[in-house]
Amino acid sequence: MDVLERYEPIVDDFEAFVAACERPLPSVVRVNTIKTTADRARQALADEDIAVEPCDWHPGLLRLPETQPGANWPYFHGWLHGQEEVSAVPATVLDPEPGERVWDACAAPGSKTTQLAALMDDRGLLVATDTNLGRISALRSNAERLGVTNLGITNEDARNHSLKPWAGEAYDRALVDVPCSCEGTVRKNPDTLEDWSLDHVEGTAGVQKGILTRAVQATRAGGTVVYSTCTFAPEENEAVLDHVLDAEDCAVVDYDLPLSHVDGVTEWQGEEFDPQVAAAKRIYPHHNDTGGFFCAKLEVAE
């Protein structure tokens, strides 16, 4: 847990934070509203004697008891999809409308992509991009099981994403859930901190800056971009926002989040960030018994 000690200056109740990081993560599934409703899914599970607890802030997220096996017919038939609770935050914040053009810049294996499709009622255009062919295979499999049909998939580096295959038109919204150092996943991946290095964090941040920059460029004036990570590192969170705010004509905007959280930090190890980054949200494991997450909402200038 030595890596986590670097965050003691910015984490409230640091002892509770560390204790939460050492506990296993609760299992959660998301109801796939392309195929069913939350009520029908809960009833189907009840009929199989599977007790679930809806998450207070999102009726479509169901917590499974510790003894609950994940194999059940509603899951196999695409009514449910395993998705960590805080992983559902970015798509919820992006809030796409049916019929819109939406880009998921780092999409595979598809939990957030398929959530976006459901929010769009499987209408409009949803473009999902990833660099890893193996992960794209998982994305395709998940999309097929969940009944997604409004999806186009590209195998490319999001930093060089081209609009040409999609009629050259800018997107209405873009989700940028970037690859990161994954510190916030320590509850489900206890080994994630063993190979941690500051060099890796800083190198990853460079890639993140490029992806978020391209997402802002590819989104229409007045459009929305959501940036998220599952790491605590300000180098990958607020510092990335600060870079893009300086380089592109956009702004970080506030949003409602019915989960306990704290504001983005405006200073880290002697570096000051644009005050706008305070509107981003940091979710720590001890706040809601979840993984760790960072999420910011940006609007492209008109």
Residues 6+ apart with CB under 8 A from 198: none
Distance (Å, rounded) from C-alpha 268 to C-alpha 221? 31
Between the alpha carbon of residue 162 and those of residues 46, 130, 169, 177, the distances in Å are 46, 13, 10, 18
Distance (Å, rounded) from C-alpha 74 to C-alpha 81? 9
Inter-axis angle of helices 133-145 and 111-119, nearest 10:
40
Residues 6+ apart with CB under 8 A from 132: 108
Considering 106, 182, 230, 250, which one is annotated as catalytic? Answer: 230
Distance (Å, rounded) from C-alpha 209 to C-alpha 244? 7
Report residue 260: phi and psi, to 5°.
-60, 135
To the query of whether residue 182 is one of the catalytic residues in this protein, the response is no
Helix and strand counts by DSSP (H, E) for the chain: 9, 15
Residues taking part in catalysis:
230
